[in-house]
Amino acid sequence: MTRLVLASASTTRARLLTNAGVVFDAVAAPLDEFAARESLSRDGVPSDEIAVSLAELKALRVSALRPGAFVIGADQILILEGEIVSRSSGIEEARALLRRLAGQNHELITAAALAKEGAIVWRHVARAEMQMREISEAFLEAYLETQGEAVLGSVGCYHLEGVGAQLFAKTTGDYFAILGLPLLPLLGALRELGALET
């Protein structure tokens, strides 16, 4: 079987692949994601294309380091009221973001790409609608206290597979994509490309 590489330091993406029985190496892509996202946004690239462009860029950067391997790149962006929301850098920013998200709908756009020998061989974009419920200040403070800096690992400051589920009234879309990786389409592509057993 062809080697697989995940171009990410994301523990969530790694866990999704591991739980699905996929054997892979993880290599963080040498990329300043914030700068790349800002550059694409300034150039007027639409939101879903920003996500897929970043996923492809990560896959290509690591593909150059791992000849012969299929390299998985992924990216996720959060859109609130037409604006791309950046990842919070600290608990105060997380608190402010959660206050903004409370009682509102936002969209997650999750993209994945596969590269081999420096070329993109597959790409996929998934969209999810997230309806966060109104939350009290007491709940918000308790949530931040119990979750701590772990919330900074997600652009929306939540992990739907954990306590973050309590923040939501409703979600619509691919559950795995919400977590950060459109797993089922990715597994299908890997099988079609001969990287996984059929």
Report which of 11, 13, 3, 27 is spatially closest to residue 117, judged by C-alpha positions: 3
25, 32, 75, 174: the catalytic one is 75
> E strands, the chain, where?
4-6, 25-26, 70-80, 83-85, 105-116, 119-132, 168-172
- Gap between the Cα atoms of 185 and 52, Å rounded: 14
Q: Which amino acid makes up residue 148?
A: G
Q: Specify whether the CB–CB gap between 182 and 174 falls below 8 A.
A: yes
* Helix or strand holding residue 38 (H, E): helix 33-42
What span, in angstroms and rounded, lies between the C-alpha atoms of 130 and 167?
Answer: 10
Q: Is 75 a catalytic residue?
A: yes
SS3 186: helix
Which of 85, 102, 179 is closest to 139 using CA atoms? 102
Other residues' Cβ atoms within 10 Å of the Cβ of residue 120:
18
Q: Which residues are catalytic?
A: 75
